[in-house]
Structure 1
Amino acid sequence: MSLFWRIFGLNAVVFGAATALLLWAPITVSVPVVLTEAVVLVGGLVIMLVANAALLRIGLAPLDRLTQRMTTVDLLRPGQRLPVDGHGGVAELLRTFNEMLDRLEAERATSSARALSAQEAERRRIAQELHDEVGQSMTAVLLELKRAADRAPEALRTDLQHAQETTRESLDEVRRIARRLRPGVLDDLGLVSALTALTTDYGTHTGLSVYRRFDPDLPPLEPAAELVLYRVAQESLTNAARHADARRIDLTLRHTAAAVVLDVTDDGSGMGRASEGAGIRGMRERALLIDADLDIGPGPAGGARVRLTVPLPRDAA
C-alpha cells in the first residue's frame, strides 16, 4: 500500500466510525444547539482527532525511524540499517535507503583504500628522500664540521663543535621523522619490533612512561593488518601525548582464538564531549579496510582507551 492510500485509509476509518455513530446513536441536534448536545459533539470531535492522530503516528512510524537514522548515520560505522517489514511504498522506501547505504559504504571503502594506499606510498617516498638525500647531506656536513673543528684554532673550535652537535641532533630528528613516516623495522623485523621501537621513541622524546606487553606466539597477520595496527598505535600515542595531558600509557597486544587485539590506555583527561578529529576518523577508515572493530572510549581508570580488534584469517584462526 502506498503512503497516500495508507493515510487515506486511516482517515477513512476514523471518519467512517464517526459517521456510523451519528447514524445509529440516539443523538439529535436541536436548533439552536443546547449545551449538552454541544458537549457531546465537541467530545466526539476530540475523540475523532485523537484516534486519527494515533493511527497516523502508527502509520508514519517507519518514516520517523528513517528520519532519525538519516541524521545519525555514519559511513565509518557500517551496518546501520533499518528493518524492512511488509510491502508497499514505505517498505520500498526503507529498502531503497538500505541499498543506498550499501552503495555508499562500498564506495567509501574503495575510495578510502585508494587514498590510504596513495598516502602510504607518498610517506614511503618522503621517508626515502629524507633518509637518502637530506640524511646523507647532513652527514656530509657533520663530517666537514668535524674536520674543520680539528684544524681550527682554539677560539673557533668551541663554536664549530657546537654547530657539529646541533647538526647531529638535526640529523637524528630527520631520521626519527623518516621512521615515523615509514617504519622500516615493520617490514624487516615485524610488528612486535616495530611497536617496541615506537613506544621507546615516544617515551624518550615526550617524557611519558610507556609500558608495553605483548603476548608470546602472536599469530601471523597480513602486511596490511600489521600496518593498520602500527598506525592505530602511533595515532593513539600521539593523541595521548598532545591532547590528553597523560603521564602514563599502557600498550597491550594480545590474541584470542579468532582475533588480535591492540589496547592503548592512558591516564589523561579523556575525550569528554570533544568531537572526533581527523586522526580518529583516519583510524576508523584504516580499521574498515581490514574489517577490524575499533572502539574508542573511557579507560578503566580514567583517561581514554583505544581498542582495535583485528580478525584472524580463517586458516590462522
Structure 2
Amino acid sequence: MISSLQPPFFQALGDSKRVLLAGMGGGFDVFCGLPLYFALREQGVEVTLANLSFTSFHPLDPRPLTPSLLLVTPDLPPHGRTYFPELHLARWLDAVGEPARVFAFEKTGVQPLLGSYRALVQQLAADTVILVDGGTDALMRGDEADLGTPHEDAVSLTAVNELNGVRSFMVSLGFGIDAFHGVSHWNVLEATAEIARAGGFLGAFSLTPDMGPVQKYREACEAVFKQMPRHVSIVNASILGAILGEYGNIHATDRTGDSELWINPLMAQYWCYDLPAVAGRLQYRKALLGTHTMSQVDQVIHAHRESVALRSRHILPI
C-alpha cells in the first residue's frame, strides 16, 4: 500500500480515539458523514453521531446535557413529527447492530450551540470533532455573489472553532450540489486554494461503490428514504447517484423536477479541511459569536452583506 500518497486528512486524524462526527448544516447532513463513521469504526475509533436538527424539539424530549441538545434513541416517541431523520437513522443503526444514538442540536444561534458542543465533548471525552457539510456552501466567506444557505453552516463552524482541547476538521461531500441554491463553484475552488495556501487543505478522496462503508451509507439512506418518502434528501440522493456513475441532469426525486441538475463524479469526493482555517475566512464570524437565535444570525448575515462590496459572479472556465 502506498501510504505516502494518502490524503493528509488521515494523518491529521492521527491517534484520535473518540470522535464526534456532526452534520453542520441541518437536515440530512449527518448522513453525509456515514462513510467516515463506518470507516473509523472499522479502525477501532469510538465515533458518536450528531446533527444540527431541523426537527422541532418537544417538551418531553430527553435533554440530558443542555436544553438545546436532544438525545435521539430508537425508542424516542416521534410526538407527531413527520420530519425526523435523526430518529429514523437511530432506528436503522439499532437494526444493523450499531450504537443506536444520535445527538440532535437545536437550531439556535452560536452561544446555545457552543454550550451544547462543550457539554457533549466533555461528556464523551472526545478528542476530535469533524463537521460534515452536505454540499460546499460552508466554504463561502461572505462577499460572494450568492452564499447558498449559510446560516446553519456558519453557526456550526463558528461554535466548533471556539472549542478548546480538541482537534477540529471540516469535510464536505457533494461538489456541485449547491448550484441548486445559486452557489458558484468557482468560489468553492477559490476557497480551497486559499485554504491550501494557508496549509489547511487536507486533500480529497473519492467514494466508490465497492467500499464497505459506502455500501452501508447507501443502505442507511435507502432505508430512511423509505420511512420519509416525502422528504428524500436531494443532497444524499445526488451523491449516491454520483457514486454509482450517473452523470448529468439525473433526478432521483421529483422534488428537483423543475430544475436542471449536474450529477458528476466530483460529488462523490470528500474534500477535507482544517476547521480553524475555514473559520478564519468567514468574514462575519466574530459578529456571530454573541448570537442566541437564528433571527439574530440572519440579521448578522444581512448586515454584513449590506456593509461589503459583493464580488461579481464567476463561473468555472471549463
Higher relative contact order (CA 8 A, sep 6+): 2
- TM-score, structure 1 length as denominator? 0.19
Larger Rg: 1
